[in-house]
Structure 1
Amino acid sequence: MFKIFFISIITIATVNSQLTVPALSPSSKTIQTVGLTEIEIEYSRPSKRGRTIFGENGIIPYNELWRTGANATTKITFTDDVTIMETPIKKGSYAILTKPGKSTWEVYFYTYTSGNWNTYVDQTPIASFTAKFIELNEVLETFMIYMDQITLDSSQLVFAWDQIKIVLPLKFDTHKKTMTSIEKTISGPTDFQYFQVALYLHETQTDLDKALEYIKKVTKNKNALFFQVYRESLILADLDRKTEAITAAKRSLELSKKVKNKDFIRLNEKNIKKWSR
Structure 2
Amino acid sequence: MLNRTSLLAAPALAAALLFSAPAAQAQISTPAASPKSTVTQRVGLTDITITYSRPSLKGRQAFGTLVPFGKRWRTGANQTTSIKFSDDVTVEGKKIPAGEYGIYTIPNKTEWLVVFNKSTKQGADVDGFKDDQDVARVSVKPYKLGNKVETFTIGFSDITPATANVDMMWELTGAKFKVTSEVEPKVMAQIDEKVIKNASPSANDLAAAAVYYYDNDKDLKQALAWMQKANATDPKFWNVHTEAKIRLKMKDYKGTVASAEQSKKLALDAKNADYVKMNEDLIVEAKKTGKL
Q: TM-score, normalised by structure 1?
A: 0.90
Query: 1:121 maps to what in 2?
Result: 129
1:87 aligns with 2:99: no
Match in the other structure for 1:49: 58
Deviates more, 1:255-264 or 1:208-217: 255-264
The amino acid that maps onto 1:232 is E
Kindly indicate whether the alpha-carbon contact (under 8 Å) linking 2:111 and 2:140 is maintained by their aligned counterparts in 1: yes
Cα distance between partner residues in 2 of 1:84 and 1:210: 33
Contact 2:82 2:120 in 1 (8 A): no
Distance 2:182 2:48 in 1: 14
1:27-58 deviation line (CA, Å, top 9, x unaligned): 01111111100001011010111101111xx1
**Displacement, 1:122?**
3.4
**In the superposition, relative to structure 1, how do residues 13 and 227 fare at CA in structure 2: closer, same or farther (>3 Å)?**
closer
**Other-structure match for 2:255:** 244
Q: In the aligned structure 1, how far is the partner of 2:268 from the partner of 2:61?
A: 62
**Is 2:107 the partner of 1:106?**
no
Distance 1:220 1:251 in 2: 12
Number of positions where the alignment pairs a residue of Structure 1 with one of Structure 2: 271
Find the counterpart in structure 2 of residue 138 from structure 1: 147
Aligned pair 1:266/2:277, yes or no? yes
AA matched with 1:225? K
Q: CA deviation at 1:13?
A: 5.3
Percent of aligned positions with the same letter in both sequences?
30
CA distance in 1, matches of 2:49, 2:103: 13
**Which residue matches 1:216?**
228
The alpha carbon displacement at 1:117 in A equals 4.9
Residues in 2 aligned to 1:250 and 1:20: alpha-carbon distance in whole angstroms: 64
How far the C-alpha of 1:12 sits from its partner, in A, is 3.2
Please list every run of 5 or more consecutive structure 2 residues that lacks an aligned counterpart in the other structure. 1-5
Distance of 1:269 and 1:61 partners within structure 2: 59
Partner of residue 206, structure 2: 194
User: Aligned letter for 1:121?
Assistant: F
Aligned partners of 1:193 and 1:114: how far apart in 2? 44
Q: What is the Cα deviation at residue 231 of structure 1?
A: 0.8
Mapped pair 1:172 → 2:181 = yes
Cα displacement string for residues 35-86 of structure 1 (whole angstroms, at most 9, x for unaligned residues): 100001011010111101111xx11110011110011221100011111111
What does the per-residue CA deviation read over 1:78-97, in whole Å, with 9 as the maximum and x for residues that have no partner?
01111111111111111111
Deviation at 1:210, TM superposition (A): 2.2
2:29 is the alignment partner of 1:20: yes
TM-score normalised by the chain length of structure 2: 0.86
CA positional deviation for 1:98: 0.6
Give the aligned residue type for 2:70.
N
Between 10-19 and 246-255, the greater mean CA deviation after superposition: 10-19
SS in 2 for 1:38: strand
**Paired position in structure 1 for 2:66:** 59
Q: 1:203: which partner in 2?
A: 215
Whether 1:232 aligns to 2:247 is: no
Say which is worse superposed, 166-175 or 62-71, in terms of deviation. Answer: 166-175
3-state secondary structure, aligned to 1:126: strand
Instruction: Give the structure with higher Rg (CA).
Output: 2
Q: Note the aligned Cα RMSD (angstroms).
A: 2.2
Secondary structure of the corresponding residue to residue 220 of structure 1: helix
- Mapped contact 2:122–2:130 kept (Cα < 8 A): no
Give ranges in structure 1 of 5+ residues lacking alignment: none
Change beyond 3 A, Cα 1:120–1:216:
farther
Which residue identity lines up with residue 238 of structure 1 in the other structure? K
8 A Cα contact 2:163 2:178, kept in partner = yes
Shift of 1:254: 2.2
Displaced runs of 4 or more, over 4 A? 8-11, 115-120
Query: Which deviates more from structure 2 when the two are superposed, residues 74-83 or residues 192-201?
Result: 192-201
> Relative to structure 1, is the Cα distance of residues 262 and 120 closer, same or farther in structure 2, using a 3 angstrom cutoff?
farther
Deviation of 1:131 after TM superposition, in Å, equals 0.7
Question: 2:38 and 2:174 mapped to 1: Cα distance?
Answer: 19
